[in-house]
Amino acid sequence: MSRTPPAPPRFVPTLTEVVKPIAAPMPAPGQAVVPASPQASPASSAAPAALAAPAASPDLQEQMVQRVLQRVDLVLDRRLREVVGQLILEHTQSLAPRLREEIEAVVRQSVSQAFDEKNTPPSGGI
């Protein structure tokens, strides 16, 4: 049962022309891309003007750099807080057993000292 595939709906774009690449040097970064001939591609005339715009002005570049740095600062600040918080938690958890040992030793010594003082008769009697 071989059937021919149905024709695509009329609103689906189909390839009607094969466009072969032209051997041309690559433009420098920020340099506008201009087709080699006006007949190179009919779609090129519909390309957004932003693609063919010249390089951004130094003021605009500086503004963009500042905006990116502000966002990086916010993300960096948040990540540093997370990492430092995690490190503090880990160190606190490792210190807890040592603190308990020290507190236990001090309490034992204090109780022992208080017990000894209570059982020792006062000197300088009657």
DSSP string, 49-72: GGGGPPPPPHHHHHHHHHHHHHHH
Helices (H) and strands (E) in the chain, counts: 1, 0
List pLDDT tens digits, range 34-45: 555 445 444 444
Mean pLDDT of 5-18: 68
Q: Which of 14-18, 63-67, 118-122 is modeled with the greatest confidence?
A: 63-67
Residue 12 vs residue 60, higher pLDDT: 60
Could you read off the pLDDT of 69-94 as tens digits, one per residue? Answer: 999 998 999 999 999 999 999 999 99
pTM higher than 0.85, yes or no?
Answer: no
Shortest CA distance to 44 belongs to which of 32, 55, 56?
A: 32
Cα–Cα distance between 70 and 76 in angstroms, integer?
A: 10
Output the CA–CA distances (angstroms, integers) from residue 27 to 32, 35, 56, in the order listed.
7, 11, 16
The token pair at 59 is 């003021």
